[in-house]
Structure 1
Amino acid sequence: MPTPNKLVILDRDGVINQDSDDYVKSLDEWLPYPSAIDAIARLSRAGWTVAVATNQSGIARGYYDEATLAAMHERLEALVEARGGEIRRIVHCPHGPDDDCDCRKPLPGLLEQIRQDLGIASLQGAWMVGDSLRDLQAGEAVGCHSVLVRTGKGERTLAKGKGLERARVFADLAAFADWLLG
């Protein structure tokens, strides 16, 4: 059973793959950062449990469907597995910002789903890595350590400067993995 102090929860777009203001709508548009794929595999091989929690409102907006999203996540898992790593769980929120769900970050519903799925009593001490304030807020709501990466929307988030008091900042997921494993 994973323990929270050996759990890393990742946002997807902007952390693992290139983000787009027009949404990542197809497998062709899903462009992983090679260093992020390697970082996930290194964390996993070092005994860390890696999970992904991602808002995917493009589904609610009709830009792509669940099958397209599943294909992206299958590709992600295959790339990580090819490097000897594993993503233990991927959860997503398919809702739009006005759908009044409890899973869309900054709410912690996705992280609670990961906690339940992995059979962990608490997420206190786990790591939440994201490129936006809402990622960090979701993690902090359940006791995670916050990590902001500068990739994706990270530079924009950093420039706003609000709500980042507890966050550690890294250039990208690989730099965070180097630090965590160092």
Structure 2
Amino acid sequence: METHRAAFLDKDGTLVVDVPYNVDPDQIRLAPGAAEGLVLLRDAGFRLIVISNQSGVARGLFAEAAIAAVRGRLGELLGEIGVALDGFYYCPHHPQGVVPEYAVACECRKPQPGMILAAARDHAIDLGRSWFLGDILDDVEAGRRAGCRTALIANGNETEWERSPLRWPDVVARDLAEAARLITAAPDAGPRPDANIHPTGE
């Protein structure tokens, strides 16, 4: 079976300007460098797949159905630059949530790799040739756990800087455009030696 390489993209703070717990389509704006970066990644043959924690559902801040409008608006913005997403995955859970059916520990909430692994199955993605791009170290850890290479968008959104061997990105960039330039200049590679590390459950 033919496989593909993907650029897995965190949404808030990486792909769009971070407005906490926002589901108002009118407030969604592409982040600086996002348009250029997405075009570069698409032209280099990467499938573009969003991987996003949406704990506002578990916290009772908005209904899960509201995410559809966010996805629709994002599709409109990307359509204006001639780019289409190949997938959109989100986790509505949080173990300290207030909505019972979503207040669970799961394997999809980053830094766990569940959404990435599901996307890889759905889209025939070769994880060892793929990248995860995000603005906090939980994104880096999720990508590493799935077996991807990782890019940290160092835009100030990471505040805790809790380090571990799984939380060291392969590249650091100031925005998605710079990250895309670094990624497209890097040699295509096989699986990482730490690929497919099992989730911790923590």
Which interval holds the TM-score relative to the shorter structure?
Answer: 0.7 to 0.9
Matched, 1:162 2:188: no
Q: Is the 8 A contact 2:9 2:49 kept in 1?
A: yes
Matched residues in 1 for 2:169 and 2:33: separation? 25
Q: 1:97 Cα deviation (Å)?
A: 3.4
**Structure 1 residues 152, 114: closer, same or farther in 2, change over 3 A?**
farther
**Amino acid across the alignment from 1:162:** R
**Amino acid across the alignment from 1:179:** L
**Amino acid across the alignment from 1:148:** L
Aligned length: 175
Structure 1 segment 92-103 matched on structure 2, within 5 A: 92-98=90-96, 99-103=104-108
Matched residues in 2 for 1:45 and 1:14: separation? 23
Match of 2:145 in 1: 141
Aligned residues: CA RMSD? 2.0
**Match for residue 109 of structure 1 among 97, 114, 134:** 114
**Match for residue 80 of structure 1 among 75, 78, 81:** 78
Match of 1:175 in 2: 178
Match of 1:123 in 2: 127
Which TM-score applies when normalising by structure 2?
0.78
| Gap regions ≥5 residues in structure 1 | none
Q: 1:151 Cα deviation (Å)?
A: 2.5
| Gap regions ≥5 residues in structure 2 | 97-103, 186-202
Q: Is the 8 A contact 2:51 2:116 kept in 1?
A: yes
Deviations 1:124-176 (A, max 9, x none): 2310111111111111112111110012614x35xx26234343110011111
Say which one has the larger Rg: 2
Matched residues in 1 for 2:32 and 2:59: separation? 29
SS of 1:71 mapped into structure 2: helix
Which TM-score applies when normalising by structure 1?
0.85
Q: Is the 8 A contact 1:61 1:96 kept in 2?
A: yes
Q: 1:113 Cα deviation (Å)?
A: 1.1
Match of 2:18 in 1: 19
Deviations 1:18-65 (A, max 9, x none): 224x42232233232252133213321332111110000001112122
Q: Is the 8 A contact 1:38 1:80 kept in 2?
A: no
Matched residues in 2 for 1:83 and 1:31: separation? 13
SS of 1:110 mapped into structure 2: helix
**Amino acid across the alignment from 2:163:** K
Q: Report the identity percentage.
A: 33
SS of 1:146 mapped into structure 2: strand
Matched residues in 1 for 2:105 and 2:71: separation? 25
**Amino acid across the alignment from 2:47:** T
Q: Is the 8 A contact 1:9 1:128 kept in 2?
A: yes
